[in-house]
Amino acid sequence: MTNESGIVTFVAPEVEENTTFQIIAQKGTLSNSTSILVIDNPDNDPTDKQLIILTYPSSPILENTTFLVTVHDGYNYVENALVEFNNITSLTNETGVTKLTAPSVENDTEFNITVSKEGYISNITSILVKNRRLYVYTYNETGIFSHSILENSIFYVRVGDETDWLENVTITFLDETYSTDEEGIAALTAPEVEENTTFEITAHKPGYTNVSTTIVVNNIKDAVSPLYVICENSVVENTTFYVIVASYIDENGYIPVEGAKVKFNNETKLTNETGITTFVAPEVEKNKTFLATVEKEGYLKKVFPITVINISDNIPPPQPDLKEFQFTIFPKEIYSGDTFYIYITDRTGKPATNVLVEFYNSTFYKYSYTDEKGYTVYIAPRVDEEKSFEIRFSKEGWETKIFSVTILPISNIPPKVEPPCDPEKFYIASLNETGNITEIIPENSMFYIIAFKNNSDELEAIPRVFVSFDNQSGFTDNYGLIQFTAPQVDNTTRFIINATKDGYNTSIYVLVKDISENNASQEDALTEKVIIPLLPLTIAGIGITLLSLMILFRKLKTRKRKQPKHIYYSRFQPVDRPTIDDLHKEELPYFEPIPEETAGREVYSMDNHIDTVIDRIIEKKRKERATS
């Protein structure tokens, strides 16, 4: 364990040859961190080091995308290391980096990367190149996601990839082709059929693998749709349970069926507008299974079993030690229509993935699964008064947890009063890899976001701030920091970074810079280094000549008047001065600093500068003549 200074010491083990070890650091809810350490055998040649391979982004990598390979020996980056990948070889640059491109693949394929250099131990690693897939969704004429439609009706096909909807995707249906618009949507018409018929829809776009889906076109006379039921398989006697009837279910929720007849234990009830009805499990002498039915005109009848458990018979078998959920829900107060987040971990702080999260009350039901970072998100339903909802976590091998949340109506939102120093307000800033504040981040590089309060005497780091950038998100650690990786861009691109904690939100912009732009501008930079230093001297010479001609002209016009005492001025006068009279009060600096608010955005023109100086001298001469 580290001490109060964050330090822990180890003794290097004895090794027969130079050996690479991995160091892993972990604590609570903080993200784990790893590092590489090479322990040398003093009897071995110190130059005989193991080459270490790092790839960014890490495996898996999408086909036809560029990625970086970094070669390290445990001490330094290795220049001119030979990198072999997919029958292509390249050498690392002075920072140990080379750029490679993943090939096109028909299926997810694993490739080896080999690195070697004289005097070093070669190494090999593998990466998975993923096929770039298309995803096809079908919607009926009312815009509801569906795999079945009525004959002669308009329906919609929408196509996207892992990140966005795609334009100009070719859709083939019944030997006719269509093209998706900028939202990835194409409108099609279902044919007339004599009976319910299944048709294939194919999507094609260069650079992607073709993908197909099917849709059922229903004959109007025979049109029926399936019913889906969400219900516990077993319930305890004398307890209330829910039955939810839907026409469609996916990972985002369900489409409710209102007015469906649900029959259980000789009792019939109708579902409400959210597709829900409730029953009370009867008292039973021993565990008993009942058959429940669901019916509605235009739908197929559904029959499903429900087992009622007798409490005395329900003696649970010995359970293995179950993992315990830890969770955070934010913001703390949830109002009607708010987006809120749930973050779930185990007791060590490791994100709990693929956890079933159910959000419901007697008239409402939604469910989702946590992602690879342990997050899921919901939008609070509209309410006119305070309403209580339950959230249930469940996963095999984990102890199920249920807790209540209250959704507040918008009318309950207190008026926002900004105190002189709001203790909840905070700021964020972007830091590069060396810890310096910057708004420009090179592509594919790591950077940090720091969250802090600006107190009167010092800056206070803010932990547990939720920060999102591009497709990445997470919480700041105890030092107010969170690490991100800048994406690869074709051109320098502006991104927004959002941060939220306890209902307060703030954001900043960063520029992710295309590394290739630096190479293209090196020649221009060399030219500027030679020409720009000579430019002020040339302009200064022109300015002195103009001043001399102007003064000579003035002397000829005023030679009969008494000449005032000569006053000398700096060759370049500052641009921004409140009044002309300030020229008589002090001798001004040769150059004036660029105002802070325009630093990095404006460049002063030397020509305009000289024009301003001349105008001011003329104005001064005019005043002198007026006073004499």
**Secondary structure of residue 614 in the 3-state scheme:** helix
**DSSP structure class, residue 225:** B
Most confident region among 293-297, 468-472, 500-504, 591-595 by mean pLDDT: 293-297
User: Which residues are paired to 70 by β-bridges?
Assistant: 54, 97
Neighbours of 178 (CB within 10 A): 16
Read off the pLDDT of residues 361-390 as tens digits, 9 standing for 90 and up.
Answer: 877 888 888 988 888 888 888 888 888 898
Q: Predicted confidence band at 114 (pLDDT cuts at 50, 70, 90)?
A: very high
Using an 8 Å Cβ cutoff, are 191 and 217 in contact?
Answer: yes
Q: Look at residue 188 in the predicted model and tell me its pLDDT.
A: 93
Does residue 340 register a pLDDT over 70?
yes
> In the chain, what are the domains?
19-130 (2.60.40.10), 135-218 (2.60.40.1930), 228-309 (2.60.40.10), 326-412 (2.60.40.10), 427-513 (2.60.40.1930), 524-627 (no CATH)
**Strands 364-369 and 356-361, sheet pairing:** antiparallel
Which are the contacts of 608, defined by CB distance < 8 A and separation ≥ 6? 575
Confidence of residue 421 (pLDDT cuts 50, 70, 90): very low
Of residues 581 and 3, more confidently modeled: 3
* pLDDT single digits (tens) 240-281: 888 999 887 766 677 888 999 999 999 999 999 888 999 999
Mean pLDDT over 561-572 rounds to 40
Among 467, 484, 617, CA closest to 551 = 617
Task: Kindly report the average pLDDT of the chain as a whole number.
Answer: 77
What would the pLDDT profile of 484-532 be if each residue is shown by its tens digit? Answer: 888 888 888 888 888 888 767 788 888 888 877 555 555 455 455 545 5
Reported confidence tier of residue 411, pLDDT bands at 50, 70, 90: low
pLDDT band for 417, please (50, 70, 90 cuts). Answer: very low
